[in-house]
Structure 1
Amino acid sequence: MSAQDLSFVHVHRPATRPGLPPLLLLHGTGGDETDLLALGEAIAPGAALLSPRGQVLERGAPRFFRRLAEGVFDEDDVRRRAGDLARFVAEARTAYGIAAPIALGYSNGANIAAAVMLLHPGTLAGAALLRAMPPLTTPPAAELDAAPVLMLSGALDPIASGAHAALLERQLRAAGAAVTLETLPASHGLTRMDLEAATRWYARLAAEGRVAAASS
């Protein structure tokens, strides 16, 4: 399958430093495939970047799955769209010759990344979930084999609350993920603290070599 045949509109930036874990960039509501490129480049300089555009439109704003109201998700659509995204990752790995990526997702993008981890274990080598909520009320049993997950929650977030973050953390831990949850003095928007925390986390994984070796 050629890059032109992939199932999502996307941007791919090839690696300039071999051996680094690639990043799958997943934007928030209203974003697109360019939104997180600068963030991905800052967090993982030289890594391959893969950034798809969500295929659901909410009043013209791209998303990765439908919701019924603020914070109320269409869980049947979550399951369908998580499967679509997992297939896209498999297509992209073949087309671009990349390892299983680490997801870097914000808000709706973080939620679909969590859904892919819980519904399609092995698709992602890990995830940095920024302002995430549980995408599924009762996720299926999964085995994530200590996949590293960073969760960055905002103490002042009116959308993805601390309770939401704690529930998702429990779900991921129950599936075997190695979760690091940090609560920042922030609201729903991203801050320099998010950049710094995610950069430290990614650098530690890259230095250990554990993710790249396991997913190549």
Structure 2
Amino acid sequence: MSTHTYHHLFKQGAPGAPLIVTLHGTGGNESQFHGFAAELLPQASILSPRGDVSEHGAARFFRRTGEGVYDMADLARATTALAAFIREMAAKAGAGEVYGFGFSNGANILANMLIEEPDLFARAGLLHPLIPFRPKPQPGLAGRRVLITAGRRDPICPPPLSEALATYMTGQGAETELLWHEGGHEIRQPEVDALARLLG
């Protein structure tokens, strides 16, 4: 039983169907992707938690001390707490596999859960993630399906760091797709299409 809970939306799906976890970006909330996930895979259970950290009123999943500078202790706290909450909800839903996708800050906490608890997610969509540290080796990622999307002009997530994360995931044995668009820190249709293929 997790000792920490999150304000969240939950939709019960068919028995044994996947649980899709949606994780919002900074300033978003549990409604940001909840309905979209239900459209992608109607039979799935859907869990959409709200980040439990406030940055000047904007919800986030973990603290930072500046743009691209993470509070690593709080990232570790948030990773453990959120993973435990997701496991509990997956059991409650009677889910088969767990899939997840997140945007920006949501992608960052999802990426760290993949690194720290690789058995949790079978498939993960990381939309504009920023991992500004060198992840530890994680052989448990072998066989996981990971989509990373990025903008070539993204001022928040520099392209070299997107490439480094994709290289890391591939190096750990994950089935990794890196998808680019020519814009910045926004979601475009090719990303939506790739996410539909990943989760469908």
Using the size of structure 1 for normalisation, the TM-score is 0.85
Aligned length: 199
Alignment of 1:95-106 (within 5 A): 95-106=92-103
* Kept after mapping to 1: 8 A contact 2:123/2:199: no
Runs of 4+ off more than 3 Å: none
- Structure 2 residue runs without a partner (length 5+): none
Quote how far apart the aligned CAs of 1:6 are. Answer: 6.7
Q: Which residue of 1 aligns with 2:131?
A: 134
**Cα gap change, 1:38/1:191 in structure 2, threshold over 3 Å: closer, same or farther?**
farther
Q: Quote the Cα distance in structure 1 between the aligned partners of 2:63 and 2:45.
A: 29
Which runs of 5 or more residues in structure 1 are unaligned?
Answer: 204-216
- 2:47 counterpart residue number: 50
Q: Is the 8 A contact 1:145 1:177 kept in 2?
A: yes
Whole-angstrom distance in 2 between the partners of 1:98 and 1:201: 18
In the other structure, the counterpart of 1:171 is 168
CA distance in 2, matches of 1:84, 1:65: 11
Inter-partner Cα distance in structure 2 for 1:100 and 1:61: 31
Are residues 67 and 6 of structure 1, via their aligned partners in 2, closer, same or farther at CA, if it must alter by over 3 Å?
closer
Residues 118 and 175 in structure 1, CA contact (< 8 A), matched pair in contact too = no
Give the root-mean-square deviation of aligned CA atoms.
2.0
The one-letter amino acid paired with 2:44 is A
How far apart are 1:47 and its partner, in Å?
1.8
The whole-number CA distance in structure 2 between the counterparts of 1:177 and 1:199 is 18
AA of the residue aligned to 1:60: G
TM superposition shift of 1:105? 0.5
Q: Classify the secondary structure of the residue corresponding to 2:141.
A: coil
Q: Distance in 1 between matches of 2:166 and 2:174?
A: 9
Superposed CA offset, 1:60-113 (max 9, x none) = 111011111111111221111111111111111222222341111000000100
- What percent of counterpart residues are identical? 34
Query: For 1:200 and 1:118, how far apart are their aligned partners in 2?
Result: 23
Q: Is the counterpart of residue 28 in structure 1 residue 25 in structure 2? A: yes
1:131-210 paired onto structure 2 within 5 Å: 131-134=128-131, 137-142=133-138, 143-203=140-200
TM-score (norm 2): 0.91
| 1:150-170 Cα distance to aligned partner (Å, 9 max, x none) | 111112211112112111112
Cα 1:185–1:39 change in 2 (3 A) is farther
The answer to whether the 8 A contact 2:151-2:182 is kept is: yes
Q: CA contact under 8 A between 2:114 and 2:141: conserved in structure 1?
A: yes
- Equivalent in the alignment of 2:8: 10
Distance 1:194 1:42, change over 3 A: farther
The alpha carbon displacement at 1:175 in A equals 2.5
Answer yes or no: is the 8 Å Cα contact 2:17–2:95 preserved in 1.
no
Give the alignment of 1:56-135 within 5 angstroms. Answer: 56-134=53-131
Q: What do the CA deviations read for 1:105-126 (whole angstroms, capped 9, x no partner)?
A: 0000001000000011211112
Deviations 1:135-163 (A, max 9, x none): 6x132221212100011111221111211
